[in-house]
């Protein structure tokens, strides 16, 4: 081999070497990146699965946020009233009744009604850490859940949740009103039979600001027959006295309980 040929061969080897080394480096970086992506994906899926399973457990609600959630979780698990009163018939609490029922063939858990995603849970977590929440918690579902319809019917009458005595589904206001049409005072009849009565009923959501299902059906404490504020003995005719379900409070009793 001549000196000129040897020089050309060395020159080729030198020119190829810088190109080969980066290829090896890029290949190693790519492998490390792929391993990292796989590890993160596996951890993400595992963490997400644990979150979803634990999220459905009532104990998730007060795992960290003992204040203000402890009384509500205890209310669901033990059937105790958040604000105990003289009656305190815990078997009649809405939360206890719902716990012993099913919706769409599934047990009713906290998240069946209080459905929230990761973003909402993060927002609530920040509120708890910073202390930017009020006690007692909002009791009206229209505010607590951001329900768009006037009376919370859209929220409460979800498909598969309620039926009448004949087993027929109650999924709108008309069916709800019909289910209690035989009562002396139909508690679900918001559109009163006369203009004067309608004006009286309007005051509850015009002056009070809120009137929804939870105005009477107070899940974690004694339910209140709000109608008895007017439709009660001494204030109305016998034919228009509201029936108070067993274990419920009259309006006067609810006011007395709140003053304690």
137: left (phi over 0), alpha (psi -120 to 50) or beta: beta
- Please tell me what DSSP assigns to residue 238: G
167: left (phi over 0), alpha (psi -120 to 50) or beta: left
Mean pLDDT, consecutive 10-residue segments, the chain of 260 residues? 59 53 61 80 68 70 78 82 58 73 76 77 82 72 56 75 88 86 80 53 56 80 85 67 84 79
Q: What confidence score (pLDDT) does residue 86 get?
A: 47
Quick: pLDDT tens for 88-114.
555 567 787 787 777 767 788 888 887
Q: Which helix (H) or strand (E) holds 126?
A: helix 118-130
Q: Are 103 and 160 in contact (CB under 8 A)?
A: yes
Q: What separation in angstroms does the CA of 203 have from each of 133, 190, 206, 210, 220?
A: 29, 11, 5, 10, 26
Q: What confidence score (pLDDT) does residue 197 get?
A: 54
217: its two tokens: 């059906």
Q: Are 90 and 100 in contact (CB under 8 A)?
A: no
Nearest to 137 by CA among 253, 256, 219: 219
Burial class (CB in 10 A: 0-12, 13-18, 19+), 148: exposed
Q: What confidence score (pLDDT) does residue 259 get?
A: 64
Q: What confidence score (pLDDT) does residue 12 get?
A: 61
215: left (phi over 0), alpha (psi -120 to 50) or beta: alpha
Nearest to 238 by CA among 185, 189, 195: 185
Quick: pLDDT tens for 165-175.
888 998 888 88
The secondary structure of 44-99, three-state, reads: HHHHHHHHHHHHCCHHHHHCCCHHHHHHHHHHHHHCCCCCCCCCCCHHHCHHHHHH
Q: 224-225 and 249-250 as β-strands: parallel, antiparallel, unpaired? A: parallel
Taking the whole predicted model, whether its pTM rises above 0.75 is answered as no
């Amino acid at each position: 081999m001549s000196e000129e040929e040897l020089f050309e061969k060395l020159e080729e080897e030198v020119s190829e070497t810088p190109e080969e080394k980066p290829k090896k480096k890029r290949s190693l970086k790519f492998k490390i990146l792929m391993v990292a992506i796989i590890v993160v994906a596996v951890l993400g899926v595992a963490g997400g699965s644990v979150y979803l399973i634990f999220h459905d457990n009532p104990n998730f609600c007060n795992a960290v946020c003992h204040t203000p959630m402890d009384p509500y979780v205890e209310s669901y698990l033990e059937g105790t009233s958040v604000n105990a009163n003289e009656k305190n018939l815990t078997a009649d609490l809405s939360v206890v009744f719902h716990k012993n029922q099913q919706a769409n063939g599934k047990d009713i858990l906290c998240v069946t009604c209080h459905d929230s995603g990761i973003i909402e849970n993060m927002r609530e977590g920040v509120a708890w850490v910073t202390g930017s929440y009020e006690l007692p918690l909002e009791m009206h579902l229209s505010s607590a859940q951001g329900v768009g319809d006037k009376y919370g019917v859209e929220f409460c009458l979800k498909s598969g949740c309620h039926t009448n005595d004949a087993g027929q589904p109650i999924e709108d206001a008309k069916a709800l009103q019909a289910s209690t049409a035989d009562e002396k005072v139909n508690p679900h009849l918001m559109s009163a039979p006369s203009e004067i009565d309608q004006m009286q009923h309007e005051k509850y959501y015009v002056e009070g600001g809120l009137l929804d299902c939870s105005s009477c059906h107070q899940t974690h404490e004694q339910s209140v027959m709000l109608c008895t504020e007017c439709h009660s003995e001494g204030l109305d005719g016998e034919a228009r006295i509201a029936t108070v379900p067993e274990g419920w409070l009259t309006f006067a009793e609810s006011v007395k309980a709140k003053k304690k």
